Structure 1
Amino acid sequence: MQARQTRAERRTATAARILEAAQIEFGTHGESATIRGIARRAGVDPSLVLQHYGSKQALFSLAVRPATDLTAEGVPAHLAEVLGLRLSELPPETRALMRSMLTSSEAATVMRDYLQERAANLAQAMTGEDAELRAAVMVSSILGITIARHFLNLAPLADLGNERIAALFDAWLVPLA
């Protein structure tokens, strides 16, 4: 027999369902996603979406924000993981952010801050001259591959196997290990 959830536990579960639904809706529709569509996907009344998150813009900001717990020591493994993730299906929050970054100043700021943080952490782990520039080039390259593969279906990237693309990046990642 399951124990009954407390009100706080139900509220937390509802907020999590709404956020997950928002990530999917924003990933599919970008900023044109609606509160009603998010609520429908989460199985809640639209008023609950606003009660939990305040506004569509506030929910959008949370839904598209990538995780930011990277340390300089974890950069090589993180880059390999990011590349693997970017070569496969994109998470809804990443898809939403990328769809919106060229049309929404808030999404552009989120993406720029995220990429600058990643480049700064990567530069700290690199040796030699121009570490900041080389890190920015690497981070930008992964972003470019993601856009070309998932949004533009650029040949041969769209058809190239993940292992082959990953092998092309090995030369970049090896000096970081």
Structure 2
Amino acid sequence: MAATTRDQKRAQTAERILAAAREEFALHGYRGATIRAIADRAGVHASLVMQHYGSKADLFAIAAELPAGDEGGAAEHLAAVLDVRMQGLPPETRALVASMLTSPEAEATVRAFLQERVENLAASFEGDDAEVRALLAVSGILGLTVARHFLTLPAFEHVSHDELVRAASAWVSGAESA
């Protein structure tokens, strides 16, 4: 068995931290995840998390990226996002979305977040229309979120959560291959 170099060990540690961060952010969201919990999950000291990734915000940005050219991973990611968005919204998300049409600061925050999501998703799609498909997917999820949680359309009362997520996932998957 070949010896592991220092650079290889460093890369393995960075990967463990990134995997742990993805799990913590998925379980607790950005606000609920802590550097200490990420470090504990990765089996490293918290200072190593900061040494490898700089800040919690930087680590989140990297953890939230989809792999380029991975449409299967993108579809899985979109299905998970739909699943979360069709359930209850965290108070901070609810406040931000509710304020986006009346507060310039909230509007700018939502716009920047959604644009980053479009760019990241488009990078994982193939084809000349990748950006358009990503834009439709992100906009569609926002529309479903608003219709479900703010407009509380009565039609949502007659559709189970699983049925809604399944149908929306099929729509998004269809947008991927259009």
When normalised by structure 1's length, the TM-score is 0.57
Counting matched residue pairs gives 149
Q: Residues 157 and 146 from structure 1, CA distance in 2 versus in 1: closer, same or farther, beyond 3 angstroms?
A: farther
SS of 1:160's equivalent in the other structure is helix
Q: Residues 161 and 137 from structure 1, CA distance in 2 versus in 1: closer, same or farther, beyond 3 angstroms?
A: closer
Amino acid at match of 2:47: S
Task: Give the CA RMSD over aligned residues.
Answer: 4.5
Tell me the CA shift for residue 13 of structure 1.
0.2
Q: Does 1:113 align with 2:112?
A: no
Stretches of 4+ aligned residues off by more than 6 angstroms: 98-101, 103-108, 119-123, 146-149
The aligned residue for residue 48 of structure 1 is 48
When normalised by structure 2's length, the TM-score is 0.57
Report the Cα distance in structure 2 between the residues aligned to 1:41 and 1:107, rounded to whole angstroms. Answer: 30
Report the Cα distance in structure 1 between the residues aligned to 2:146 and 2:3, rounded to whole angstroms. Answer: 45
Amino acid at match of 1:21: A
Report the Cα distance in structure 2 between the residues aligned to 1:8 and 1:157, rounded to whole angstroms. Answer: 50
The aligned residue for residue 65 of structure 2 is 65
Report the Cα distance in structure 2 between the residues aligned to 1:84 and 1:8, rounded to whole angstroms. Answer: 32
Q: Does 1:35 align with 2:35?
A: yes
The aligned residue for residue 2 of structure 2 is 3
Report the Cα distance in structure 2 between the residues aligned to 1:135 and 1:3, rounded to whole angstroms. Answer: 43
SS of 2:163's equivalent in the other structure is coil
Q: Residues 6 and 67 from structure 1, CA distance in 2 versus in 1: closer, same or farther, beyond 3 angstroms?
A: same
Tell me the CA shift for residue 18 of structure 1.
0.5
Report the Cα distance in structure 2 between the residues aligned to 1:57 and 1:39, rounded to whole angstroms. Answer: 15
Percent of aligned positions with the same letter in both sequences? 35
Report the Cα distance in structure 2 between the residues aligned to 1:135 and 1:85, rounded to whole angstroms. Answer: 12
Q: Residues 24 and 107 from structure 1, CA distance in 2 versus in 1: closer, same or farther, beyond 3 angstroms?
A: farther
Q: Residues 16 and 119 from structure 1, CA distance in 2 versus in 1: closer, same or farther, beyond 3 angstroms?
A: closer
Q: Is the 8 A contact 1:86 1:146 kept in 2?
A: no
Q: Residues 3 and 116 from structure 1, CA distance in 2 versus in 1: closer, same or farther, beyond 3 angstroms?
A: closer
Q: Is the 8 A contact 1:83 1:142 kept in 2?
A: no
Within 5 A, what are the aligned runs for 1:63-142? 63-69=63-69, 78=71, 82-83=74-75, 85-87=77-79, 89=80, 102=96, 109-115=112-118, 124-125=128-129, 136-142=135-141
User: CA-to-partner distance for each residue in 1:100-135, whole Å, 9 max, x for gaps?
Assistant: 875998786354223156579899439xxxx96x87
The aligned residue for residue 26 of structure 1 is 25
Q: Residues 112 and 14 from structure 1, CA distance in 2 versus in 1: closer, same or farther, beyond 3 angstroms?
A: same
Note the residue ranges of structure 2 that are not aligned, 5 or more in a row.
82-88, 98-105, 149-155
- 1:160 aligned to 160, 163, 172, which one? 163
Report the Cα distance in structure 2 between the residues aligned to 1:147 and 1:67, rounded to whole angstroms. Answer: 28
SS of 2:162's equivalent in the other structure is coil
